[in-house]
Amino acid sequence: MDTNGNVKTAGRTLDVFETFEAVGRPLTLSELARSLEIPVSSCHALVRTLKGRGYLYAVGERGIYPTRRILGLARAIAARDPVLERLAPHLKALRDATGETVLLGKRQDDAVVYLEVVEGTQTIRYTARPGDLKPLHSSAIGKAMLGQCSEAELTRLLSSLPLSRVTPATMTDAVSLAAEIRAGDAAGLYVTRGENVPDVMALAASVRVNDEPYGIAVAGPLVRVQTAHDSIAAELRTAIDRIREGEGVHDRRSPAGSAP
């Protein structure tokens, strides 16, 4: 276990598949060991285990590459996700209505993890991947999750978070950030303008599923989203209302389209 509490073997196993995803071709044992920055002997033991479980196979004399076993597992797992099963139709409808990328996320410790990404229909669009981790303070969904905190919890959290500058536009002052989050609470809409990714704007709202808070965001090029702000906000509010109706939750806050 490392200093962050991560199990080293589990991390290395995930690194194997992320390395193949990055390079996009078979690798020799020594190439994989170099990429993982581990001894060849350790890499050999890891590869032997994964081959024995059917996750890697030999290509030619020296190459290795992942089988489709992990893809099959991933598809089966995703198909039975209890939250995505219920929200997927709403996320796709929101994407179709706005043309922009739609994201579903949830707070995980001091970050947001994207659970689903429905890419926009535009040629130039915001792209992300499920499993991406984003800071709470610089992402629209992160702000929506911070908006679920009580005043005392928000003050404590913002004082403990690093509030690092992700882009030149990132808000790093705790007082200003708290005021923006409370303004978002009143409007039912949380906004980032180039704070997490330069030239990308996102609008997010929160919704409870199984009495747990989730965030849904619509993100795209800043100029385009800024121009379509009111219509995107209205579509986002409609999607949230439909989800809440399905969950039996009623919200009496101001319409999202009234946000500044």
Q: Is the pLDDT of residue 251 over 60?
A: no
Average pLDDT, the chain: 91
Q: Is the pLDDT of residue 81 over 90?
A: no
Query: What's the pLDDT at 9?
Result: 83
Instruction: Give the mean pLDDT of 88-99.
Output: 97
Which architecture, in CATH terms, is 8-72? Orthogonal Bundle (1.10)
pLDDT tens for residues 152-170?
Answer: 999 999 999 999 999 999 9
Query: What's the pLDDT at 126?
Result: 97
Q: Is 107 exposed, middle or buried (0-12, 13-18, 19+ CB in 10 A)?
A: buried
Instruction: Give the mean pLDDT of 9-27.
Output: 94
pLDDT tens for residues 113-134?
Answer: 999 999 999 999 999 999 999 9
H, E, C per residue of the chain: CCCCCCCHHHHHHHHHHHHHHHHCCCEEHHHHHHHHCCCHHHHHHHHHHHHHCCCEEEECCCEEEECCHHHHHHHHHHHCCHHHHHHHHHHHHHHHHHCCEEEEEEEECCEEEEEEEECCCCCCCCCCCCCCEEECCCCHHHHHHHCCCCHHHHHHHHHHCCCCCCCCCCCCCHHHHHHHHHHHHHHCCEEEECCCCCCEEEEEEEEEECCEEEEEEEEEEHHHHHHCHHHHHHHHHHHHHHHHHHHCCCCCCCCHHHCC
Q: Is the pLDDT of residue 146 over 50?
A: yes
Bigger pLDDT: 254 vs 214 = 214
Q: Is the pLDDT of residue 35 over 90?
A: yes
Query: What's the pLDDT at 2?
Result: 53
Query: What's the pLDDT at 249?
Result: 55
Of the ranges 13-17, 75-79, 153-157, 181-185, which one carries the lowest mean pLDDT score?
75-79
What ranges do the domains of the chain cover? 8-72, 81-258
Reported as a pLDDT band with limits 50, 70 and 90, residue 6 is low
Record the pTM: 0.80
Of the ranges 3-12, 29-38, 193-202, 232-241, which one carries the lowest mean pLDDT score?
3-12
Q: Is the pLDDT of residue 47 over 80?
A: yes
> Would the CATH topology of 8-72 be identical to that of 81-258?
no
pLDDT tens for residues 201-248?
Answer: 999 999 999 889 999 999 999 999 999 999 999 999 999 999 998 876
Class of domain 81-258: alpha beta
Instruction: Give the mean pLDDT of 66-82.
Output: 89
